[in-house]
Structures are given as structure tokens and as C-alpha cells.
Amino acid sequence: MTMSEEDVPLFEDALRQAESKLSKVSDPTCTIKVLVSLDEHLMSAIKAVDEAAFRAELRYNEAELRDRVGRRGFVAIIAQCAEKPLGFIYGYDDPEVEGGFYGDTLASSIEGKGVGSTIFTLMLIYCYDNGYRFFSLHTEDVDEKGRQLRRFYEAMGAEYLHTDPKDGVQMRVRLDPQRLNENYRKFILGERSQMDSTASSTRQYLRHL
């Protein structure tokens, strides 16, 4: 059956498609696990990606990490290829928003291959499938490596709420079917929207002027 523009894929189907996509950018044996608790092996995997992705003051120590694992509604989505950690995202119930999920951390060990956008989209679909209506997060406008983090999340459908001097930029995704379908098609299936195609054609045209 063909998906309409407002259908949200089953999470299991989205997960299989995400594994297939990530297997093409890394080792062919890429797997994605959904966990509600973390063993020592996976705890070490998260720390390894943290060290590659974040400056020291942004990394959690083991006690802080275990505290987050113990929070209500905790879930982690971890991508691994040949037992090597590729990226992860985890979060838990948002105590400040009814029907809300809080995305604590998203990180990947390689950049520019769509790992972050793939597992972020997968988490949004997981949240929708489990009855959440909102997905909140904190980020920076631009990090020390020059990565446009706010712009990244805006592309994923997150709306800017406010900036706190301590916690940074707060953003929120409304988990509506049309947005999730659009993210799934673009960031997991790799389909290009008509707008993307038009912009690409314009860029090609301008190169020849």
C-alpha cells in the first residue's frame, strides 16, 4: 500500500529503512538498537561517541549518565556498525510539558553522512508511536566547531522557543503526522521534495550564467 503525505510509517519499518541507509555509509552490518536500559558495553559506546562529538564540559560523567538512564520514560536509539558506535540519541519524559518527550543528547561519530538526521527522525517516529505529542530539546546556535546546530534542528521541524543563559537555545517539535512523514521521506528514505529539486535546478542554472 502506498503511503499518503500524512501517513506516519510504522516504527519497525522506519527502523529497517534507517539500518539500510546507514549500512550504505558505513559497514554493511549496521544495526540500530532501541534500549530502555544500558549495559556496560553500550555505556562505553556512548562515552566514546561523546568524546568525539562534544567538548569536555558538555560530556556527562558516569553518575550523570546513570541518572538520566533512570528517568521515567528513558529510551535510547543506538546505531552500531560492526560493533563500532556510529551514533545515538536518548531522552525521557519531559516533566514540564504534558505529552512531551525531552531529547537529552544526540551525537554521531561521523559527520556529513546523515547519521544524526536519520536517528533523530527515528526517535521522533518512536515518540509519536508511543503517544507523545511534543519533542523538546536544548542546543546551541553554533558550537565550537562552527556547526549550525539551531539551523540543523530547524531543518528537522523544531521551532525556536527561547534562549536561556544557562541551558542555551530551547526548541520543540510538534509531532504531527505530516511533519513526521516529510522527515521520514527526506532523512531516512532520501527522497527529495519538489522544493529541493527546484532549488537544485536553480543552482545548476546559476552556475552556467
**Is 175 inside a domain boundary?**
yes
What pLDDT sits at residue 4? 55
Q: What is the pTM of this model?
A: 0.84
What pLDDT sits at residue 10? 94
What pLDDT sits at residue 192? 72
pLDDT in tens, 133-145: 999 999 989 877 7
Q: What are the contacts of 142-150 at 24+ separation with CB within 8 A?
A: 144/55
Q: How far apart are CA 125 and CA 127, in angstroms?
A: 5
**Is 80 inside a domain boundary?**
yes
- Pairing state of beta strands 159-164 and 168-174? antiparallel
What pLDDT sits at residue 99? 97
What ranges make up the beta strands (E) of 140-184?
159-164, 168-174
What pLDDT sits at residue 146? 81
- Per the structure, the count of domains in the chain is 1
**Is 2 inside a domain boundary?**
no
CA angle 155/157/162 to nearest 5° reads 95
The candidate with the shortest Cα–Cα distance to 91, out of 127, 116, 140, 46, is 127
What pLDDT sits at residue 126? 98
Grid coordinates representing 203 are: 543552482
CA angle 45/152/115 to nearest 5° reads 35
Grid coordinates representing 121 are: 527522525
**Is 43 inside a domain boundary?**
yes
What pLDDT sits at residue 144? 73
Cα distances from 209 to residues 92, 202, 205, 206, in angstroms, run 51, 11, 7, 5
Q: In what order do the strands lie in the sheet with 134-139?
A: 30-35, 75-81, 84-93, 100-108, 134-139, 168-174, 159-164
The residue assigned the cell 521522533 is 124
What pLDDT sits at residue 47? 76
- Pairing state of beta strands 30-35 and 100-108? unpaired
Grid coordinates representing 4 are: 499518503
The residue assigned the cell 512523514 is 181
Cα distances from 45 to residues 19, 23, 35, in angstroms, run 18, 18, 13
**Is 78 inside a domain boundary?**
yes
Under-70 pLDDT residues of the chain:
1-6, 51-58, 193-209
**Is 182 inside a domain boundary?**
yes
Q: What is the CATH number of the domain that holds 99?
A: 3.40.630.30
**Range of the structural domain that residue 59 is part of:** 11-207
**Is 6 inside a domain boundary?**
no
**Is 46 inside a domain boundary?**
yes
What pLDDT sits at residue 29? 83
Count the Cβ atoms, other than its own, within 10 Å of residue 28.
Answer: 10
